[in-house]
Structure formats: structure tokens, C-alpha cells
Structure 1
């Protein structure tokens, strides 16, 4: 699926999405136009979804990191829950999970009052919510969106 050049391009872009095509090309031995072609191909295959900026949550007053486990007791309410979570700007991630709970949410909030408002207006106001469990992160040792592309097989 990916060759060594694709993997090298993805590794560099994951670390710095502002790297120019010329810089990328010099890193892998290609011209800027060849890099452009490769990246278009990777986007077309769905490997490269987008190149985006990484913003500091703390600098924007959103240093309060919370994970919420949600158990849905009534699956008829699941579409409303999912639509609401997709629309909530506080929700960074929403995962359907195995185990005692149905979903795991990752949120960046301003503090405990924001958490209380989020729970009451966005989660507990939906019928069929059996229970929730909030986990507040005191500090973060590692947080990344980088995917290890070195283990991906050749094309």
C-alpha cells in the first residue's frame, strides 16, 4: 500500500504540516511536483485525510481535559446522542466502546462549571442515558495524533 517514500512523507507531515513541498522533496529525493502528485494519491486513497494546525488548548483556556464514559440504556436514543456529540464543539473524540459503557468521550473544557453544564445540557438531557462516569486528567504525559507509518506494508 505504501512505499518508503510515502512513509517518509507522512512521517514528516505528521510532525510539521507546514513543511513545503520543496522541503519534503529534498527530504525524500523528489521534485515539489512529484511530492504534490504523491500527496494527491495518498489523499485519494484516504491515507492522508487532511493537513491541519495543532492548537494549544491551554493557551485558549481549555486546559481542563475530561474523559466521559456514557452508558446508553435505550438504543432508540443512540442517533440523537451521536448527532449531538458530532455537533458539540467541546467533544474532541467520541468512541463506541466494548465493556460496561457504550461510548467514551474526550473533551476540552474551561473547568468544572463547564463540565457540569455540558453533562446536564448535552448528555443527561437525552432520554435513555443510563449513567455517566467522568475522568478528569490532572496532567498529560503524551498526547499525539501521529500514526506509526513505519509498520505499514509495502505497495
Structure 2
């Protein structure tokens, strides 16, 4: 991956619908050359997917929540991971170091949904303990963009 690839990634991170001609004009390549580079970046796994950046407030999901989770000693961790992958409220689930097992990021309509989420985890016998944080605001959020590479 060279500097032109990094510039293409930066441009796509800002607007995945940007035209090949526009990207090419910015990086000094023809549209077909840009297309070939994007194809290679996708085939190599650098670009995993193209997605839509939604406005959570417009979707009615205004509450951003982080939940630290320590699994029970007897919890089935594979089942927990399956649950996390299929639960639509979970945006991210990270296996972490330290006194917690996982950090989960959720989007919900309102705070009462958090209690329902935790009740579901308890009913499935996953939870040892939790700590829940509600974000008041976000000064930086969004997709991964490699800062300073363009």
C-alpha cells in the first residue's frame, strides 16, 4: 500500500459514493486506475466493505451507551459472542484486558431499553457484573479514517 492508496482510502472514508473520476483527479490517476486500486484494496482486505453512515437521531436511536461486562465464571463465552453478533442494538463488542471481559457499544431509543438489554443478558446467564455509561455527547465519532495520511 502506497501513499496514493492511502489518499484513496481517505477520500472514500469521507464519501464512499465519490466518483472514480473525482478521486482520480485528486490523486492524479485515471478512473480505471483508481478502480483497479480499489479492487486490489478490497481483495487484500484493507477495505472490508462500503457502508452507509446513518444519523442515529434521525433513526430515533439517540442514546449511546457503553457497557462494561464481566462474564460469569460459568458463562458460555461462545454463546455470549453469538448473542453479541446477532443483537441489533449492539454496534460494537470488544474483548478487553483488565477486570472486565467485554466492552459493548449500544444505540437505543431511550434509557429504559438499557435495563431490558441487561435483563436479557442476566436471563441468558452471561453476567457476573456490569458498569453502564451513557454518553452525553460525542466530539468525535464515525468510521475509521486514518488521520493525517492525506
TM-score tier by shorter-chain length is over 0.9
**2: distance between equivalents of 1:5 and 1:36?**
13
Instruction: Report the RMSD for the aligned CA atoms in angstroms.
Output: 1.4
Give 1:128 deviation, angstroms: 4.3
Give 1:117 deviation, angstroms: 1.1
Give 1:139 deviation, angstroms: 1.1
1:137 to 128, 135, 138: 135
Using structure 1 for the length normalisation, give the TM-score: 0.90
Superposed, which structure 2 residues align to 1:2-151 within 5 Å?
2-74=1-73, 76-121=75-120, 123-148=121-146
The question of whether the paired residues in 2 share the 8 Å contact of 1:91 and 1:106 is answered with yes
Residue aligned with 2:4, SS:
helix
Residue aligned with 2:66, SS:
strand
Give 1:50 deviation, angstroms: 1.3
Q: What do the CA deviations read for 1:16-74 (whole angstroms, capped 9, x no partner)?
A: 11101111111111111111110010011110111211000011110100000110122
Q: What do the CA deviations read for 1:80-103 (whole angstroms, capped 9, x no partner)?
A: 111001000100000000011100
Using structure 2 for the length normalisation, give the TM-score: 0.93
Give 1:150 deviation, angstroms: 5.2
**Are residues 115 and 29 of structure 1, via their aligned partners in 2, closer, same or farther at CA, if it must alter by over 3 Å?**
same
The question of whether the paired residues in 2 share the 8 Å contact of 1:67 and 1:104 is answered with yes
The question of whether the paired residues in 2 share the 8 Å contact of 1:77 and 1:126 is answered with no
Equivalent pairs counted in the alignment come to: 149
**Are residues 75 and 31 of structure 1, via their aligned partners in 2, closer, same or farther at CA, if it must alter by over 3 Å?**
farther
